[in-house]
A = this chain, B = another copy of it.
Amino acid sequence: MERIYASYWLETGDDPRRAAEVIAGEQSSGTFVALANETPELKLRSGARVERLDILGHSATPGLPGGMPSARYTQCALELSWPLENIGPSLPNLMATIAGNLFELRQVSGLRLTGLKLPQAFADAYQGPAFGIAGTRKLSGVAHGPLIGTIIKPSIGMSVDETVQQVRELVAGGVDFIKDDELQADGARCPFDERVRGVMRVINEHAERSGKKVMMAFNLTGDLDQMRRRHDLVLAEGGTCVMASLNSIGLIGLQELRRHAQLPIHAHRAGWGYLSRCPQLGWDYAPWQMLWRLAGADHMHVNGLRNKFSEPDESVIAAARSVLNPVMPQAALPAMPVFSSGQTGLQAADTYRALGSVDLIHTAGGGIFAHPQGVAAGVEALRESWVAAMEGVPLEAHARQHPALQAALGFW
């Protein structure tokens, strides 16, 4: 019978085997008291199963408060499995099963979801990304290398005219990709519809002249009808991408947007910190992004190397790898990782080396805007950093032939 597998990092003040069984019980047929109806047959048929429990270490203090007091806490790698028939291939019900009440158990002083393996039925039931890597390359006209991108800044507060002016500079500067900030959707100072019309006029004019249509991810995050209507406007105006904040709209929001959309969905992870910043609690990125790719995300944010946030580089790379990995052997559902936050060309070579792929979007704000020779030179410098990275040429050596890059090295 097909099963769902989820892996956890677990810390417990209880006997680890007992704690694992309590978690398995809580998330399937068990409850706090023994019930006559919970027969051995029922447990065997519907109970979650402890597939693996490896002791990793011990500590004298608990990672999280509120658990059962103990002289010693044990850290473990735990894998549980559930029969698919408990919930069927349903993402919302998967969420309640693999990430429901278990985090609150007293047997738990630390619990983090680290991995997920799903039966193919999920790939049959959900649409996955409609565009992914190949579709994004086709629409943006970037056949090789990363998409060189940037973000409209200041995050919020500019008028439509100011935004259009910024886009004009970026488009003239040769950028491949632009995104709205996640704080800017349909503010009174910069209404979505006017912004789309103004920005697309610039992008379309440039495309007619140059043959290159810059991909702009318009942040349509909102109520469902708003998102559908905004998507339709972007499409009608000739736009090629829409953006939504996943934690704002939830699984149903993304599923419904995907059903409606005819454009790639750029998925923002704003709020990811509250799901992940405590190492003893919450979610690793790998299982989390899998749910959203099944639901239809084409681009997934992964932060960036040496970012200005608190995430370590190895976590960033693990996240980006997970986005490039197949969701399952039978259904790759490829999506594109988006690198951002404090990025310049200085991170290109290390990103390429660590990831082994250029199927990504690399966005820089200050790294482009602050170039002393202007936006075009900023874009060129970032792009040439990637050429150097892909050719295995040291950045300084490559810069000798590329003045824009040379100038950038001074301020990056």
Contact = CB atoms under 8 A, between A and B. Distances in A.
Interface string A246-266: 011111110110000000000
Contacts of A93: 183, 185-186, 221-222, 245, 248
A245 B31 contact: no
A252 B223 contact: yes
Nearest to A244: B92
A305 to B, nearest CB: 14
Contacts of A35: 153-154, 366, 369
Interface stretch (A205-213, A276-284, A331-339, A380-388): A276-284
B157 A47 contact: yes
Nearest to A67: B310
A38 interface: yes
A156 B101 contact: no
Interface in A85-129: 85-88, 90-93, 95-97, 99-106, 108, 111
Nearest to A26: B155
A270 interface: yes
Contact of A88 (B87, B188, B312): B188
A300 to B, nearest CB: 15
Contact of A249 (B250, B311, B370): B250
Contacts of A95: 245, 247-248, 270-271
A280 B277 CA distance: 10
A90 B46 contact: no
A329 interface: no
Given A104-B273, A250-B252, A250-B253, A90 B153 contact: no
A156 B311 contact: no
Given A66-B277, A86-B187, A279-B65, A252 B256 contact: yes
Contacts of A279: 65
5 contacts: A32-B342, A35-B153, A90-B226, A104-B309, A274-B282
Given A46-B154, A65-B279, A104-B311, 5 more contacts: A38-B153, A86-B189, A96-B247, A251-B253, A274-B282
Top 8 closest pairs, chain A to chain B, by CB: A250-B250, A103-B273, A46-B157, A66-B310, A252-B253, A33-B366, A100-B270, A92-B248
